[in-house]
Amino acid sequence: MTKKAERIFVKGNEAIARGALAAKCRCFFGYPITPQNDIPEFMSSEMIKAGGDFVQAESEVAAANMLLGAGATGVRAMTSSSSPGLSLKQEAISYMAGSEVPAVVVNMNRGGPGLGDIGPAQGDYYQSTRGGGHGDYRHFTFGPGTVQEAYDLTIRAFDIAFEHRTPVLILGDAILGQMKEPITPWEPEDVDENGGRDWAITGRDGGRDKRLIKSLFLAEGELAEQNKHLQAKYDAWTDLAECEQFETEDADLIICAYGSIGRIAKTAVRKFRKDGKKVGLFRPITLYPFPSAELKALAEQGKRFLTIEHNLGQMLDDVRLAIRTVTDSDFYPIYPGNLPTPDELEEPILKCLEGK
């Protein structure tokens, strides 16, 4: 990787768009929805300058299906949206999972259900990590916590999408998208722009056999085989699970939080540490695969857990699954519609620490 010396001051949304361009994303398909509009707006000029193409689709349904078409040709392509828009994109995402088309999908999570609000929330965790559309599948999902991480993980997302022929999700929220921070952009040197060489539809140039990208498997046993193959792929992702551990070593209580809330919780943890209180933070960076082994290891050391999410308890399920043979986790929900501060988290953390 080449480091560019120059630091720039950008919003999380723009960092994602810049990361995609650095990863040689060459097609972007979008539809406006707050709080992610900076991404398509940036792409509408910068993608063209980079020699790619940008389409403002007629709907999220169409945008995601355009992504399916571009991904099927082996070109690096992306779409972005926010919660109600992601629900519409799920049709194509299920087809992409079924026909193993690589692509990157960004969701800057807002409050729901339904039209909800335009503020930050984490209510789309289930939808993102379980496979939000129909059928048995999973999305590889990143949950960046800082603007720099949003940039870095977008680049990683393209590599994983192509290496594993799968849609990869980046799950941010309105805080991350709208927050400005300095970042150091970099460009990967070894982007394989021919990633789809063996399978993509590129025309039968030279008279090779035709290729077909499809998710329909009607012959007896054929769909079972495809699902077995997909499941094996998802199982192998376990090795790619990633997390940040902050002050966990000697901690009595571990806060489990991801994304923007992980970052806010980190500030609260710092404050507790200043007061000599043994609190640590466990922040999953990949939400699927979930870093279960790392979390279980902490449970085996006798630590207690408090899961804090900007929803009513979704990642909590994954935390509990990881530590279920050892212990349980308490939970503190931040209701969507509220903007949490580190101070607000102190009371529930203190309560847990004191075993109340």
Shortest Å distance, C-beta 225 to other proteins: 18
> Is the Cβ of residue 92 or residue 175 nearer to other proteins in the bound state?
92
Q: Which is closer to other proteins, CB of 72 or CB of 157?
A: 72
Cα–Cα distances in angstroms (integers) from residue 247 to residues 35, 278, 298, 340, in the given order: 32, 8, 12, 22
Q: Which is nearer to other proteins, 213 or 264 (CB)?
A: 213
Residue 165 backbone dihedrals phi, psi, to 5 degrees: 45, 70
* Closer Cβ to other proteins, 63 or 255, answer by number: 63
Q: What residues line the site for other proteins (CB under 8 A)? A: 26-27, 29, 53, 55, 57-59, 61-63, 65-73, 75, 77, 91-92, 95, 99, 201-207, 210-216
Pick the closer one to other proteins by CB: 62 or 326. Answer: 62
The two three-digit tokens of residue 160, written as one number: 């994983």
State the minimum distance, in angstroms, from the CB of residue 214 to other proteins: 4
Quote the least distance from Cβ 76 to other proteins, whole Å.
Answer: 9
Q: Could you give the angle at the alpha carbon of 265 between the alpha carbons of 263 and 270, nearest 5°?
A: 100
Distance in angstroms (rounded) separating the CA atoms of residues 301 and 320: 16
Question: What's the closest the beta carbon of residue 61 comes to other proteins, in angstroms?
Answer: 7
Tell me the C-alpha distance between 330 and 255, whole Å: 9
For the CB of residue 29, give the shortest distance to other proteins in the complex, in Å: 7
Overall size of the chain counted in residues? 356
| Range 261-265, long-range pairs (CB < 8 A, 24+ positions) | 261/122, 261/308, 261/309, 261/310, 261/334, 261/340, 262/143, 262/145, 263/145, 263/146, 264/340, 264/341, 264/342, 264/345, 265/308, 265/342, 265/345
Q: For residues 210 and 356, which CB has a smaller minimum distance to other proteins in the complex?
A: 210
Rounded to the nearest whole angstrom, what is the least distance from the CB of residue 171 to other proteins in the complex? 23
Cα–Cα distance, 83 to 99 (Å, whole number)? 24
